Structure 1
Amino acid sequence: MTRYERIPEPSEAGNYPDDEIDLRELFAIVWAGKWIIILSTLLFAVCGVAYALYKPDIYQANALLAPADGESGGRVGGQLGSLASLAGVTIGEDGSNNTVIAKEVLQSRAFLADFIRQHQLEAPLMATEAWNNRQKEWVYDRKIYNPETGEWGTDEDGESLRPTDWDLVKTFRENHLKVSENKDNGMVTVSVKSLSPIAARQWTEWLVKDINEHMRTQDVEEAEASINYLEAKLNETNIAGMQQVFYQLIESETRTVMLANAQQEYVFKTVDPAVVPQEKSEPKRALIAIIATLLGGMLGVFTVFFRAFIRSPSTISE
């Protein structure tokens, strides 16, 4: 007959005080190192406040845009589009595609480089220290750029500090421009940040105006090229049916040119224009100070427990 040993109940099992957390001991450790925690918290709090006060105010201007009607953004569709394909010419896109393309062009390297050069934003982007709100002018770092002569400085190796298109576009994308789209209604928001509230509004307006002009010019050039091609094909054929098709296509392309030239807001219509912001968008100084204070307290507590752990190596071997 097999003998079974009675398994002790959990209440009968041996207690292991080493595996339990003694809250009184933890509190004693914290209390013994209270000055380390207080000093660390105060140090981080002071540094956080100093950093928050050192950061300059940044303002953000926003423009809410709606996609223009498909009639203005698009060109020719349906049966005429099929006939155009048979004739060997590609006729435009619809309004939705034109809006998607315009949004991507707005953030493209080529468009932004031309935009920055056209409006002479190189120095405001790369060589400013602050914005003088009283005199409404930029404060430049004269080691980088001299506003009186318009000359750029040089580095230690004698190389010019004039920024390249790559530097300008990278800075503008990362620090200034933001383009977002509401997927529910298709609205597009163009936001520009700057040390100057006036510049934030002005740059936003320029972006909206320039992207509309860019897309209009592109569509007009494509339409005029199509008209020239269709007229050449018209002169080459004597078939009445094909001549009628060419006339219809030429008429449609001419209508595209007329509509494009007649509309100022070609791709994006401004629903809510940009205004000069009266309040800064960043930095969040209170949040910076609070986070710095919390980090200081956590670092102080960690330091106290680490010291206590190092001073009692016997707890490791047990």
Structure 2
Amino acid sequence: MMHCLAFSLVKAMIWCRTMSATRKVRPMNEVEKEMTELRTRVSDSDYVISLGEMFSILWHKKLTITAFVSLVAIGTIIVTLLMPNIYRSHVRLAPSEESSKGLASKLGGELGGFAQLAGVSIGDGAVTPVTYAMEVMRSREFVGNFIEKHDVLVPLFAGKGWDWNKKELVLDGDVYDAEKKEWVREADFPKTPKPSRQEAYEEFMEILSVNQDKKTSMVDVTVDFISPVHAQKWASLMVAEINQLLKARDVGEAERSISYLEEKLAETRNPEVRMALSQLIEQNMKVEVLANVRDEYFFETVDPAIAAEKKIKPRRGTIVGLSVIGSFVFICMMVLVLALSRERR
């Protein structure tokens, strides 16, 4: 019996040791498995490269990087050289004090010549005379008439450069045949070989700018074009045309008002009414006289337009510099990305 008891005790001790060993080994296997999976995830998705390795990779690919950046730089230089120079001409204007006051009084009481010209209804204090005049200069009617009157269409659409030696505008023969004086450009429907009035307006507004300095109330009329002579000419003519238009409008209105008031004056016997009518006639006569004696009726030229000698764009050096920097950064990133992809494999 003692022999059997001893055998059972030894068997139990062996089982306990076996279970203990099993409990110790299993956790170690699980930890090693997790570490292996973690190393695999880091290797597959978050491969880390040192700064020294980055420079080494880039230096190894220096010929590829240099060739790519050089090609981009050469291409950019060629493109910028093909771009025409743009010259700016601008006129600085000061609103005429007398005409501004006269117009403001008209706008305050009735629809004057400006409102009829624009075809809009304006209320008291809705718009200043200067702001209104600027909007007239930007209007389709005014710009369209200006283009037709001063033969702007051909140089605007067919001009492709300025010849400083000959002092003349170079025309594109694929757009306009100067010898036959006909339009030959290819245009998709609904456009026609000869630009329409609407297309001409949109094109001209790309080169025209009319802005007011809020601090000084000065108005700047700016024209950017490939020909410095045409830019100066058009900027100056824009001012002359707006002054002439506003003058003619106000003179015509004053004359009609005087004629109407004189008829009413002849029909009226009331002394107070006659006095009021006489004052109105006098005011309109002042407007008429002022307009006829001033060439610059509404805007006075403070700084006239000149033919610029220096271009304002394109800034070729800046364009080439930015393209070189951008291409260098791009090719370096591509080289590093490809290197990382190879390491992951």
Q: TM-score range by the shorter chain?
A: 0.7 to 0.9
RMSD: 2.9
**What is the aligned partner in structure 1 of residue 195 from structure 2?**
163
Whichever residue aligns with residue 130 of structure 1, its letter is G
Shift of the 162–239 alpha-carbon distance from structure 1 to 2, 3 Å rule, reads: same
Shift of the 299–242 alpha-carbon distance from structure 1 to 2, 3 Å rule, reads: same
Comparing both structures, which one devotes a greater share of its residues to helix? 2
> In the aligned structure 1, how far is the partner of 2:216 from the partner of 2:180?
49
Shift of the 156–254 alpha-carbon distance from structure 1 to 2, 3 Å rule, reads: closer
1:109 aligns with 2:151: no
Written as runs of structure 1 = structure 2, the 5 A alignment for 1:1-318 is 22-69=50-97, 71-75=98-102, 97-153=128-184, 155=186, 160-174=192-206, 176-313=207-344
Structure 1: tracts of 5 or more residues without a match: 1-15
TM-score (norm 1): 0.81
Cα distance, 1:286 vs structure 2:
0.8
Cα distance, 1:177 vs structure 2:
1.2
SS of 1:74's partner is helix
TM-score (norm 2): 0.75
> In the aligned structure 1, how far is the partner of 2:201 from the partner of 2:103?
35
> In the aligned structure 1, how far is the partner of 2:202 from the partner of 2:224?
14
Shift of the 295–259 alpha-carbon distance from structure 1 to 2, 3 Å rule, reads: same
Whichever residue aligns with residue 56 of structure 2, its letter is A
SS of 1:62's partner is strand
Shift of the 101–135 alpha-carbon distance from structure 1 to 2, 3 Å rule, reads: same
Identity percentage over the alignment? 33
Cα distance, 1:305 vs structure 2:
2.4
Q: What is the aligned length?
A: 290
> In the aligned structure 1, how far is the partner of 2:277 from the partner of 2:263?
10
> In the aligned structure 1, how far is the partner of 2:184 from the partner of 2:175?
5
Contact 1:75 1:92 in 2 (8 A): no
Shift of the 156–211 alpha-carbon distance from structure 1 to 2, 3 Å rule, reads: closer
Which structure ranks higher in relative contact order (CA pairs < 8 Å, sequence separation ≥ 6)?
A: 1
**What is the aligned partner in structure 2 of residue 10 from structure 1?**
none
> In the aligned structure 2, how far is the partner of 1:170 from the partner of 1:160?
15
Cα distance, 1:202 vs structure 2:
1.1
- Specify the structure having the higher radius of gyration (Cα): 2
> In the aligned structure 1, how far is the partner of 2:86 from the partner of 2:343?
51
Cα distance, 1:148 vs structure 2:
2.5
> In the aligned structure 2, how far is the partner of 1:221 from the partner of 1:309?
80
> In the aligned structure 1, how far is the partner of 2:256 from the partner of 2:131?
23
SS of 2:90's partner is strand
Structure 2: tracts of 5 or more residues without a match: 1-41, 115-124
- Stretch of structure 1 that moved more, 276-285 or 219-228: 219-228
